[in-house]
């Protein structure tokens, strides 16, 4: 009787872990590319999931150096702006797993619009800029778990100019950590 109870308990534990958000964390996968379509942009596919309809949040953070800023006044006259230096941009997308089709969900979002306060004389001027992207990260967090314990996947990227381009960057995956 004791052995039968232990077997039933083990089966129930395996079943619970395989359907819970914690058990499913290792199953999530992310593929795609990060490019500098200004702002930095991720286009890819998320596969797997938590099984919870609250889904996950995918966050892209980009790191780079501003090469130059040009300010244009309302009448179209351009003048060099102040160089704001190093920047960090972050953007995220909520992914609700009720949207998934055949286990894959295409996602596409950017790391936020760049704003350089003080780069131009006032807010009537527009700023155009060039950025040398150096690195990026992507984090996937489980929306069903409490903040701080919900990181499922972390990816680190290094960024470089695309071959044959002087302004377009592409970021390549250098490491990935899965959290279970």
Range of 107's domain? 2-178
Cβ 91 vs Cβ 109: under 8 Å = yes
39 upstream amide cis, omega within 30 of 0? yes
Residue-level pLDDT at 50: 54
Q: Are 142 and 96 in contact (CB under 8 A)?
A: no
Binned at pLDDT 50, 70 and 90, residue 22 comes out as: very low
pLDDT at position 155 is 95
Contacts of residue 30, defined as CB under 8 A and 6 or more positions apart, other chains included, come to 44, 45, 46, 47, 58, 138, 140, 153, 155
Per-residue exposure over 88-118, b if at least 16 CB sit within 10 Å of its own CB, e if not: ebebbeebebeeeeeeebebebbbbebebee
**How many domains does one find in the chain?**
1
- Pick 49 or 150 by higher pLDDT: 150
Which pLDDT score is estimated for 98? Answer: 64
Q: What is the pLDDT of residue 11?
A: 34
What's phi and psi for 95, nearest 5 deg? -120, 115
Supply φ then ψ for residue 98, to 5 degrees.
-75, -15
- Beta-carbon contacts of 147 under 8 Å, excluding residues fewer than 6 positions away, are 141
- Whole-number pLDDT of residue 177: 93
Which SS3 state, helix, strand or coil, does residue 146 take? coil
């Amino acid at each position: 009787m004791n052995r039968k109870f232990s077997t039933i308990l083990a089966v129930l534990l395996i079943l619970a872990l395989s359907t819970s958000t914690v058990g499913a964390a290792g199953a999530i996968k992310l593929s795609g590319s990060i490019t500098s379509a200004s702002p930095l942009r991720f286009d890819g596919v998320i596969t797997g999931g938590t099984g919870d309809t609250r889904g996950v949040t995918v966050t892209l953070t980009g790191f780079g150096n501003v090469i130059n800023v040009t300010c244009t006044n309302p009448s179209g006259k351009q003048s060099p702006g102040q160089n704001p230096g190093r920047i960090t941009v972050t953007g995220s997308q909520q992914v609700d797993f009720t949207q998934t089709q055949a286990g894959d969900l295409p996602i596409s979002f950017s790391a936020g619009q760049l704003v350089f306060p003080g780069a131009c004389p006032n807010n009537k001027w527009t700023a155009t800029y060039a950025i040398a992207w150096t690195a990026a990260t992507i984090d996937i967090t489980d929306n069903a778990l409490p903040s701080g314990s919900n990181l499922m996947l972390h990816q680190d990227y290094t960024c470089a100019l695309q071959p044959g381009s002087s302004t377009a960057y592409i970021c390549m995956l250098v490491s990935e950590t899965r959290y279970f």
